[in-house]
Amino acid sequence: MRHTTHATRRHFLQSAAATGALVGFDGLTGLLSRLKPVSAAEARLNPSLVRLDPSIEPLVRFLEDTPRERLLEEIADRIHKGLTYREALAALLLAGVRNVQPRPNVGFKFHAVLVVNSAHLASLNSPDTDRWLPILWAMEYFKRSQSETEKANGWKMAPVDESKVPPLSKAREAFAEAMDNWDETAADAAVAAVARTGSMAEALELFARYGPRDFRDIGHKAIFVANSFRTLQCIGWQHAEPVLRSLAYALLKRESENPAKADLPPDRPGRRAAELARKVQYAWQDGKPSPEATADLLSTLRTGSDEDAQRQVVELLNKEVAPQSIWDAILSGGGELLMRQPGIATLHSLTSANAMRYAYEASGDPRTRLMLLLQNAAFVPLFRGMIDKGKVSAPKVRVDQFEPAEPKSDGADAVNDIFATAGRSRMEAASKALGYLKGPEQAKQLIQTARRLVFLKGRDAHDYKFSSAVLEDYYHLSPQVRDRYLAAAMFYLPSTAAKDNDLVKRARAALG
């Protein structure tokens, strides 16, 4: 576990350094030569809008201004003329943060931004013939959210107030103070300084602390942190300022009462975690794996409170149990909630866990990593509480106990049968998946089919967010629990019985 964590952090740091110079003079010249000429009138920027990196501004404006019904065909034409995947991904993220407000919730129409990294992960794992499809789908989704925002309030990100930007030498301190005080104006100015003076790794350490600190918006804050930095790794740190400004604004979403001056329920687990972290021994990252500890913590997540879960994590760490065994319980607990009641709340127990796991592995600060572990443990009972308060009585299925069903065929036929079964019985599909999963090759076949079905059947941002998270986390889990986790995902992965997405046909036609 320790080797994997350090390797992940090295990859993050290497990527952060490498992407800083992705678009130099040659790249800018190549990009502009492939785009249609821009008139002087078109080049004039609205002074009320935030300015973006000059290399990407024309393409962002193209996404903003092209009508939704023509966008896919216009983008496909640019792809044929040389538009690169990275340029398209950067423009998509920046158009989202400039045109879609992360309020009143860090979700809903803002999924146009939250889904960008999920679409990117889907593209990375796609066959060459399908690699553009998730990005084109996300572009169309952005146009829908842009339209909804314009109808609601016409919000667009304004330029930063330069008179309030702190000295660059004090950027991180000013940002932390603003975030601790839930001060939106000060945070907006300070985060601009953070983007201008700090590295990607330094900024991630700051945001990894604030993304999961409260349970507002069912984990979307932590998800936005992870997705922003993962996308910036690909598109380049030169695009960071508007992204981090949107992110800071989203993380400060709250009720009318200032959490810095009140004791509000969404903030209590985070404050408790800060106190409990002081009781954990320094060498907590060097523990040994324990399947028994995983089972014990899973039992607590099933019946205990968020406080019970956090205290048990501290106890297990002090008994020298490896963090991996705790992550096994957290992700398995989220999978069990999904099996009990598939839906928006329970799928976010998994997508938020994926986001916090990413931040945990990318962070180099033991205290931040410990806080992420404690908060993620607390989130599972909090999500369970959302089910228990619902009107539907959820079955008490257990992820570690349901029985496998031996497949009647093998290979592609068995996988196709699993996804066909999901159209009539999610539980039966999960049992068939568990019976089919005998090793890495079977898992690879099932995961590849799931991804392709998301391209063909996906209609909502959650289809991409959920599939990208759970299919990635399969590889983060210990061998003794990962197959059951992947089988549980059948409660939300698309079925072959679902109707194909018409947008895929349109995109393929446009790409030729």
The predicted-structure confidence for 80-127, as pLDDT tens digits, reads as follows 999 999 999 999 999 999 999 998 888 778 999 999 999 999 998 888
Alpha helices in 181-305 (DSSP H): 184-197, 200-210, 220-235, 240-251, 268-277, 291-303
Asked if the structure places residue 405 within a domain, the reply is no
d(CA 213, CA 225): 12
- Whether residues 7 and 145 fall in one domain: yes
Of 31, 78, 71, 77, the residue nearest 53 (C-alpha): 31
- Claim to verify: residue 427 and residue 314 sit in the same structural domain: no
Q: Are residues 355 and 466 in the same domain?
A: no
The whole-number pLDDT of residue 3 equals 44
Q: Which of 114, 45, 6 is nearest to 354 (CA)?
A: 114
Which one-letter amino acid corresponds to residue 46? N
Residue 275 C-alpha from the chain's centroid: 27
Beta strand segments in 264-407, E = none
CB-based contact 330:372 (threshold 8 Å): no
Count the neighbouring beta carbons within 10 Å of the beta carbon of residue 448: 15
At which of 94, 121, 152 does a domain end? 152
Whether residues 124 and 79 share a domain: the answer is yes
> In the numeric block, which tokens belong to residue 477?
């889990």
Question: Are residues 415 and 325 located together in one domain of the fold?
Answer: no
- Tokens linked to 59: 């393409």
Residue 74 CA to residue 83 CA, distance in Å, equals: 11
pLDDT digits (tens, 9 = 90+) for 240-291: 999 999 999 999 999 999 999 999 999 999 999 999 999 998 799 999 999 9
Query: Distance (Å, rounded) from C-alpha 329 to C-alpha 304?
Result: 13
Helix (H, G, I), strand (E, B) or coil at 374: helix
Rounded distance between C-alpha atoms, residue 229 and residue 120, angstroms = 13
| 3-state SS string for 444-497 | HHHHHHHHHHHHHHCCCHHHHHHHHHHHHHHHHCCHHHHHHHHHHHHHCCCCCC
pTM for the model stands at 0.89
Do residues 339 and 457 both lie within one domain? Answer: no
Residue 342 falls within a domain, yes or no? yes
Residues 12, 106, single domain; the answer is: yes
Count of C-beta atoms within a 10 Å radius of residue 287? 22
Residue 170 lies in a domain: no
Angle (nearest 5°) at CA 205 between 311 and 116: 100
State both tokens at 234. 């690909």
Question: Which residues span the domain enclosing 105?
Answer: 2-152
Is 71 inside any structural domain? yes
417 with 460, same domain? yes
Per-residue pLDDT at 28: 30
Cβ 8 vs Cβ 361: under 8 Å: yes
CA-wise closest residue to 114 among 96, 91, 99, 128: 96
Of 152, 174, 204, the position where a domain reaches its end is 152
Q: For the chain, which ranges sit under pLDDT 50?
A: 1-4, 15-45
Do 420 and 305 have their domain in common?
Answer: no
Contacts with 103 (C-beta within 8 Å, 6 or more apart), sequence order:
249, 250, 253
User: What distance in Å separates the CA atoms of residue 127 and residue 131, rounded to the nearest whole number?
Assistant: 6
| Domain assignment present for 124 | yes
**Which pLDDT score, from 0 to 100, does residue 165 have?**
97
The number of distinct structural domains making up the chain is 3
Please report the pLDDT score of residue 395 as a whole number.
66
Residue 321 DSSP code: B
How far from the centroid of its chain's Cα atoms is residue 459's Cα?
Answer: 18
Cα 253 to chain centroid distance, Å, stands at 18
53 lies in the same domain as 110: yes
Tokens of 10: 């090295």
3-state SS class at 52: coil
Question: Are 126 and 31 found together in one domain?
Answer: yes
Cα gap 223→168, rounded to integer Å:
28
- In this structure, are 138 and 28 located in the same domain? yes
